[in-house]
Amino acid sequence: MKKIIDEKFLWGGSSSAYQIEGGWNADGKEPSVQDVKTYIPAGTTDFKVASDHYHHWKEDVKMMSEAGFRSYRFSISWTRVWSFKNNQPNQPGIKFYNDLIDELIKYKIEPIITMYHFDLPDFLQQQGGWLSRSTIDEFAKYAQLLVENFGHKVKYWLTINEQNMMALVPEAVLGQKATMKDIYQCNHHMFLAQAKAMKIVHQLSKSLVGPAPNINVIYPNTNTPDDYLAAINCANIRNWYYLDLPIFGKYNTIVLDLLEKNNSMFDIEKGDMEILTDPLAKPDFIAFNYYATGTVKSSDENNAVASKGGDQHSKSGVKGYFEQVKNPNLAKTQFGWEIDPVGFKTTMLELTTRYNLPLILTENGIGGYDELDANNEINDQYRIDYYTAHFKQMFEAMEMGVDLIGYNPWSAIDLVSTHEGIKKRYGFIFVNRTEDDLKDLKRYPKKSFYWYKEVIKNNGKNIK
């Protein structure tokens, strides 16, 4: 059935707490793993001030409303709302998010909230992080705190941002490498934490909840049978492992086989599968982040590669299963990421045929160098071109039956990239600072801001 974009479609923008907020130790906030990161490259900012949204949130929401946003996807900082030191909620942090949510609602902007976006409390990391089962219960307690405080105002919850990227490129977000068994043990614990959180949302509120992995289709490098097998392997290891379990209640067998062959099967305790298959722990929708497709070739035992420098789109591979290669058919961003609008459509088609659930796009976008010109304007035509190409494919996907309920690109406002600083800008709104100079942190709408406003107003009908 065709889906038409109407006034209910959630056009918006996206962010995450540690990349936008700053105020890293303000009003009782305790450190997350991002605040204590030690491997930030020279010449790249840390996350202490970021875009200083903690002190500019009112103005930021007003600008989102001026652009006509109908939704805003952001994350809550766990260590802002819970004090591990005092073992109790941190009330100023709860107030911050209550005020932010109320302000969004005042402007008729639907909050879409990620519970956890790469910023595990350092307190928990010190006790073993996701390798420790106690983090599962801490996450459930945290989810309950969120739903009890904000659940009556929030219709859409997302559990964990890009669990698959944390597993595939652990050094990108966690700053450390890990063994295969440890990675999948962490994954198992995150699945349990997610299942408990989904059940809590369903039990305590009328809200909807879904996972938020990074999903893209995978191309074989050539039409050889071995490369096609590598593409299947990669798609299962990278994508489907993270959705099959919450949606079908079954672990993906291709990945279990990989773990057994590598002597890396994780431990499943008695009662775990009951938690994972609880009907109340099923997602209502799939939120997904899409940047570009992947291309892979077969990998023999000896040529597997590790991702480079913590970049999620650099080469990666799993020995004997696949090796990621460049796709010469695709253009690239200024930061070397491939651009594939058609892949956006095929990714949605594949998600729909496989899972048949509503979709919400929670990240898509282009990182580039933006600068204020002499008139204090920012001409980011390249961003408009990127979105135009993606919107055309998005409309076609919806015509073909994809039930997409919202589009929340990365990012609403300039923020600090996971590993490439503030110079890699993603926003519709420019934030006046550099890596080492905070300047005045003033906000300026970019050319794309005005363009996106027209798109939203016309529900995309002005895109030619």
Q: Rule CB under 6 A: say whether 84 interacts with ligand BG6.
A: no
Residue 378's Cβ-side half-sphere holds a number of Cα atoms within 13 Å equal to 26
Figure out which of the listed residues 30, 122, 162, 350 binds ligand BG6, where binding follows CB under 6 A.
Answer: 162
| Beta bridge mates, 89 | 82
Q: Rule CB under 6 A: say whether 161 interacts with ligand BG6.
A: yes
Residue 130 or 395: which CB sits closer to ligand BG6? 130
Question: For 288, left (φ over 0), alpha (ψ -120 to 50), or beta?
Answer: beta
Q: Rule CB under 6 A: say whether 419 interacts with ligand BG6.
A: yes
Taking the C-alpha atoms of residue 172 and residue 166, their distance in angstroms, rounded to an integer, is 7
Active site residues: 162, 363
Q: Rule CB under 6 A: say whether 364 interacts with ligand BG6.
A: no
443 in Cβ contact with 56 (< 8 Å)? yes
Closest distance to ligand BG6 from the beta carbon of 337 (Å): 8
Q: Hey, CA dihedral for 349, 170, 144, 14, is it positive or negative?
A: negative
Closest distance to ligand BG6 from the beta carbon of 16 (Å): 5
Residue 92 or 336: which CB sits closer to ligand BG6? 336
Residue 368 or 401: which CB sits closer to ligand BG6? 368
- Cα torsion at 166, 172, 177, 179 (round to 10°)? 20
Figure out which of the listed residues 367, 421, 427, 445 binds ligand BG6, where binding follows CB under 6 A.
Answer: 367
Closest distance to ligand BG6 from the beta carbon of 420 (Å): 6
Q: Rule CB under 6 A: say whether 163 interacts with ligand BG6.
A: no
Pattern 185-224, binding to ligand BG6, x per CB under 6 A? -----------------------------x----------
130 in Cβ contact with 121 (< 8 Å)? no
Q: In this structure, are strands 82-83 and 71-75 parallel, antiparallel, or unpaired?
A: unpaired
Closest distance to ligand BG6 from the beta carbon of 410 (Å): 5
Number of amino acids touching ligand BG6 (CB under 6 A): 16
Residue 130 or 251: which CB sits closer to ligand BG6? 130
Q: Rule CB under 6 A: say whether 383 interacts with ligand BG6.
A: no
Q: Rule CB under 6 A: say whether 165 interacts with ligand BG6.
A: yes
Figure out which of the listed residues 205, 221, 417, 448 binds ligand BG6, where binding follows CB under 6 A.
Answer: 417
Figure out which of the listed residues 282, 424, 433, 443 binds ligand BG6, where binding follows CB under 6 A.
Answer: 424
Closest distance to ligand BG6 from the beta carbon of 415 (Å): 7
**Planar angle of CA 361, 8, 108, nearest 5 degrees:** 95
Residue 165 or 281: which CB sits closer to ligand BG6? 165
202 in Cβ contact with 277 (< 8 Å)? no
Figure out which of the listed residues 182, 226, 420, 435 binds ligand BG6, where binding follows CB under 6 A.
Answer: 420
Taking the C-alpha atoms of residue 283 and residue 174, their distance in angstroms, rounded to an integer, is 26
Q: Rule CB under 6 A: say whether 164 interacts with ligand BG6.
A: no
Q: Rule CB under 6 A: say whether 83 interacts with ligand BG6.
A: no
The site for ligand BG6 (CB under 6 A) is made up of: 16, 19, 161-162, 165, 214, 289, 312, 363, 367, 410, 417-420, 424
